[in-house]
Amino acid sequence: MFLVNSEVLKLSAFLCVLNFPSVALSESDFSDNPEVQVLINELVLEKGLDRASLNQIFSKAQLKDSVLKLMTRPAEKIKPWFEYSDIFVSKSRIKNGLLFYQENLDILRSASKRFGVPPEIIVSIIGVETSYGTITGDYRVIDALSTLAFHYPSELKNYSKRKTYFTNELKNFLVFTQKQQLDPLALLGSYAGAMGFGQFMPSSYRNYAIDFDGDGRIDIWENIADAVGSVANYLAKHGWVEGEEIVVPADFLGNAEENWLNAGLKPQKTVSELVAMEFTTKTAVAPSTLATAIALEGEEGAEYWMGFKNFYVITRYNHSTMYALSVYQLAQAIKEKVIVAGK
């Protein structure tokens, strides 16, 4: 997952990844770039990687003009909730989610038992991220990350911070490919370097990806067991609490412009405090439970929700209220289909 995504970037990764072919800006490689040599020196001295191997990798990595175009194109208007949800909570995604659930039932049950995360939540995240592994990106990760680490557009906001971010992700990528004995020139991902069924960035791969089927390898590209286990592990490590509410519909008769609405992703107020401000829910929730008040633009007016810790955990995957609510609603729709199907 590309954790720094905005609503726009999340939609762009899904809708536009196929719009720009992976064409190199030039035939030159990165081997003569002074910044590359600095990075190689760091990896040799700090991580013990082989200098000759690194030089060979960067001699075959390519600068991708299409990656830079995706990063620098004019920002799209952020879609309102009712349009955003139509993309990710669609009939086809619900149908394919049921199929993915049924085909991988034993793996999902095992992951849910081990990590305490409902199987439908795991399926939903994979569905939102990559349409159940069907859209995982067609860029070589080494090309995407090298392009962004060494040629991140200087005119973009937070240039220095973003350049450093992608440089660190490139380091993580080179470290884990050596450790896992994977070919760094063969692995594919998104234009931002996100990989596999769950779109893990290299740092997330190193910290949260697991060998769930015990075959000695961590393969989130083709091994569904590892992909499912890794998503569940990610949520568990970020504080998922088994059996607790995620988010519930709320009622509010006050001013939708109140500054405590959408004040942040992390729950800060207790349910009783929100109730005192006339932000209520019909769902039975302990008054001392921490929650966040959410207001979104529905098709027929304001739509209110009360999010709890597990909702916040989903936003650790992508820092977006609409992303997390889409995951929840898709999961609920899949769960309903599973119940009807009898599994």
Compute the distance between CA of residue 212 and CA of residue 297 in angstroms, rounded to an integer.
Answer: 40
For residues 2 and 9, is the Cβ–Cβ distance under 8 A?
A: yes
Compute the distance between CA of residue 189 and CA of residue 128 in angstroms, rounded to an integer.
Answer: 16
Both tokens of 175, joined, read 């470290």
Which residue among the candidates 7, 83, 103, 129 is catalytic per the annotation? 129
Alpha helices (H) in 195-240, listed in sequence order: 202-208, 224-237
What's the helix, strand, coil split of the chain in %, to 5? 50, 10, 40
Q: DSSP characters for 102-128?
A: HHTHHHHHHHHHHH---HHHHHHHHHH
Helix, strand or coil for residue 94?
helix
Compute the distance between CA of residue 227 and CA of residue 234 in angstroms, rounded to an integer.
Answer: 11
Residue 46 bears catalytic tag: no
Compute the distance between CA of residue 317 and CA of residue 325 in angstroms, rounded to an integer.
Answer: 12
Enzyme catalytic residues:
129
